[in-house]
Amino acid sequence: MGKLSMAASILCMALVAALATVTTISEAAVVEHTFYVHEMNVTHLCNTTKIYVVNGQFPGPTIDVTDGDTVVVHVINRLDYGLTLHWHGVRQIRSVWADGAGFVTECPIPPGGDHTYRFNVTGQVGTLWWHAHVTCLRATINGAFIVRPKNGRYPFPTPAKDVPIIIGEWWQLDLIELDRRMADGNFDDNPLSATINGKLGDLSNCSGIPEESFVLDVEPGKSYLLRVINTALFSEYYFKVAGHTFTVVGADGNYLTPYRTDMVVVAPGRGHRRAPGRRRAAGALPHGRARKPASGTRPPNSRSSCPAGWSGTRACDPTITASPYPSRSCPTSTTRCPSFYFHNNLTGLAHPDRHRVPMHVDERMFITLGLGSICRDGGTRCKRRRSNETIVVATMNNVSFHHPTTTSLLERYYDGTGKGVYTEDFPDHPPRPYNYTNRDYIPPGPLEEALEPTFKATKLRRFKYNTSVEIVFQSTALLQSDSNPMHLHGYDFFVLAQGIGNFDPKRDVKKFNYHNPQLRNTVQVPRTGWAAIRFVTDNPGMWYLHCHFEFHIVMGMATAFIVEDGPTPETSLPPPPPEYKRCSANGLMKP
């Protein structure tokens, strides 16, 4: 492999030195890491905060592999809390056992416990990431997961350097406490600052002493591959480099048709790769914070408008902080146009093997995304409309997902003991059609009261192997007006189209791109808009589907897909590997 991957693996080795070993077996390598998860005190803005990290690093170590490699990660949990680690975007073909979705594919690793994740990376290239998948711990327990092409060559000019840019958030509030507050229906908390590669940047200061900036040393005239990852719990980020343009070359482990832009939009849970035109840079502004439900209608946090610094200069170019809403061309005044256009303008890089959109559809689903409320007393009759007798929850087709707390869905499915834990009747359509995007459903109303009541249940959807599935996600105005980054585990899907307003099959199917759609693991469903995806169920297992906004997960905007075994051993889920540990009665992994 060329200069590029050398540089990056040196970086990786330097960071994790004694902890990572790479063993080469014929062509594919085994990339092995040991992740110690522990607490650490860190001081920012004159305040010492306890955070949860891997190997003393925030962000955590980079996992750097080549397509076809085997990854082995030994996790040693030195926290007082259980956790799982998820390999975001890794397809986990026939290895759902290693997916690391808490209570979906496994119970959390207990305090003092350890667990080994072992899986292959097959047929993917690009920037993925890994993160904790239980509670809010993913805010600081995360890192880049880079997959390099087998032959070392990209379908674009080799960049001078390859740099992960991890956009995150600095919370002064303890993350366990944040999670507890969210579970209790309190969504008013905000991070203090955005971060780039763990740095708050020199627009943040305490008593006049500026925070450290992330600095990227660059040479004029060269091009750099920036692997931009948004690890934020809530916000979509707009990423700009003053005076430069980007060529977006990939997303979610798949190549894109090169797309030139001066601004990159990254939803939580998405990894992009982009090469900026020339020269140095980086700056992120927290933008378009998803509006929180009910009590939380605070404006976006905009304190850390420019967390990154430039080589040789202190101040950021002020143009970075301007939010360029092209409001004139927006379909509605509330649409986040830059985000909509950015996502709408991306297409997949045509590839003879990868880009074959299934042209027939076996199963169609239409899934509404919104909010609702349940009664605090567990009954069905209580005062609605943000009264303190209700808890606001999030729904898909009017079901708010109840996450199991003492068992994992995969284990129950595999053992055939799912009865009493889940049902398989997740609806294919909203039970009660209404004008989904009518803004009169946003409080204070006046229409939402009749639609607001909902319920919690663990409803899953089962598919036969090799089913062609089309899903249209519809973001509704019901008690909210958020966009929803929907993430499906275990699959890449084609994004056929997106639009604003109610999906209308007669009108909108004509817009479907069957020629070169993006292949993604997360689709940003626009606020009061829709997105259509298609995929074939070629990977048996139990696959979590959820909005990647952390508070939406906690509130129940989730479900899971069961994909049955195919007709042969090669199309069936193998038994759990020896290192897989089942749940014990206390809801943690058996030691």
Task: Report how far residue 443's alpha carbon sits from residue 557's, in angstroms, rounded to the nearest whole number.
Answer: 19
Among 14, 46, 359, 585, binds ligand NAG (CB under 6 A): 46
* Nearer CB in complex with ligand NAG: 245/571: 571
* Nearer CB in complex with ligand NAG: 339/407: 339
Task: Report how far residue 238's alpha carbon sits from residue 317's, in angstroms, rounded to the nearest whole number.
Answer: 15
**Using rule CB under 6 A, residue 47 touches ligand NAG:** yes
DSSP states of 224-267: EEEEEEE--SS-EEEE--TT--EEEEEETTEEEEEEEES-EEE-
* Nearer CB in complex with ligand NAG: 208/444: 208
Stretch that binds ligand NAG, among 288-296, 338-346, 407-415, 506-514 (CB under 6 A): 338-346
Give 14's contacts (C-beta < 8 A, 6+ positions apart): none
**Using rule CB under 6 A, residue 70 touches ligand NAG:** yes
**Using rule CB under 6 A, residue 5 touches ligand NAG:** no
Among 18, 208, 217, 415, binds ligand NAG (CB under 6 A): 208
Task: Report how far residue 44's alpha carbon sits from residue 194's, in angstroms, rounded to the nearest whole number.
Answer: 12
Tell me the Ramachandran region of residue 391: left when phi exceeds 0, alpha when psi lies from -120 to 50, beta otherwise.
beta
Nearest distance in Å: CB 6, ligand NAG: 25
- Quick one: which of 63, 72, 57 has its CA closest to 23? 72
Task: Give SS3 for 570.
Answer: helix
Give 281's contacts (C-beta < 8 A, 6+ positions apart): 216, 218, 241, 242, 243, 244, 308, 310
Stretch that binds ligand NAG, among 8-16, 105-113, 337-345, 417-425 (CB under 6 A): 337-345
**Using rule CB under 6 A, residue 388 touches ligand NAG:** yes
Among 341, 402, 447, 457, binds ligand NAG (CB under 6 A): 341
* Nearer CB in complex with ligand NAG: 154/414: 414
559 neighbors 460 (Cβ within 8 angstroms)? yes
Nearest distance in Å: CB 343, ligand NAG: 8
Compose the 114-143 pattern: x for residues touching ligand NAG by CB under 6 A, - for all others: ----xxx-----------------------
**Using rule CB under 6 A, residue 446 touches ligand NAG:** no
**Using rule CB under 6 A, residue 361 touches ligand NAG:** no
Among 453, 462, 564, 582, binds ligand NAG (CB under 6 A): 453
Among 24, 26, 41, 327, binds ligand NAG (CB under 6 A): 41
Number of residues binding to ligand NAG, judged by CB under 6 A: 38
* Nearer CB in complex with ligand NAG: 172/301: 172
Among 62, 66, 95, 518, binds ligand NAG (CB under 6 A): 95
Among 40, 322, 350, 361, binds ligand NAG (CB under 6 A): 40
* Nearer CB in complex with ligand NAG: 163/399: 399
307 neighbors 194 (Cβ within 8 angstroms)? yes
**Using rule CB under 6 A, residue 210 touches ligand NAG:** yes
Buried/exposed 266-300: b ≥16 CB within 10 Å, e otherwise: bbbbbbbbbbbebbbbbbbbbbbbbbbbbebeeeb
* Nearer CB in complex with ligand NAG: 93/562: 93
Nearest distance in Å: CB 417, ligand NAG: 24
* Nearer CB in complex with ligand NAG: 99/252: 99
* Nearer CB in complex with ligand NAG: 208/378: 208
Stretch 505-544 residues interacting with ligand NAG (CB under 6 A): none
Among 186, 245, 466, 572, binds ligand NAG (CB under 6 A): 466
| CA angle centred on 190, ends 186 and 191, rounded to 5° | 140
Give the CA count within 13 Å in the CB-facing half-sphere of 523.
29
Nearest distance in Å: CB 377, ligand NAG: 10
Among 153, 429, 432, 511, binds ligand NAG (CB under 6 A): 432
**Using rule CB under 6 A, residue 344 touches ligand NAG:** yes
Stretch that binds ligand NAG, among 34-42, 159-167, 176-184, 553-561 (CB under 6 A): 34-42
Task: Report how far residue 338's alpha carbon sits from residue 485's, in angstroms, rounded to the nearest whole number.
Answer: 15
Task: Report how far residue 38's alpha carbon sits from residue 53's, in angstroms, rounded to the nearest whole number.
Answer: 6
Give the CA count within 13 Å in the CB-facing half-sphere of 505.
6
* Nearer CB in complex with ligand NAG: 572/584: 572
Compose the 390-429 pattern: x for residues touching ligand NAG by CB under 6 A, - for all others: --------x-------------------------------
Buried/exposed 228-258: b ≥16 CB within 10 Å, e otherwise: bbbbbbbbbbbbbbbeeebbbbbbbbbbbeb
Task: Report how far residue 234's alpha carbon sits from residue 552's, in angstroms, rounded to the nearest whole number.
Answer: 9
CA distances from 226 to 17, 44, 99, 125, 416 (A): 23, 26, 26, 15, 45
Task: Report how far residue 282's alpha carbon sits from residue 196's, in angstroms, rounded to the nearest whole number.
Answer: 9
* Nearer CB in complex with ligand NAG: 37/163: 37
Please give the single-letter amino acid code of residue 473: F
Task: Report how far residue 214's alpha carbon sits from residue 307's, in angstroms, rounded to the nearest whole number.
Answer: 7
Task: Report how far residue 524's alpha carbon sits from residue 483's, in angstroms, rounded to the nearest whole number.
Answer: 7
**Using rule CB under 6 A, residue 439 touches ligand NAG:** yes
Cα-only R_g, the chain: 23
Query: What residue ranges bind ligand NAG (CB under 6 A)?
Result: 39-41, 45-47, 50, 70, 94-95, 118-120, 172-173, 205, 208, 210, 341, 344-345, 388, 398, 430-432, 435, 437-439, 450-451, 453-455, 466, 566, 571
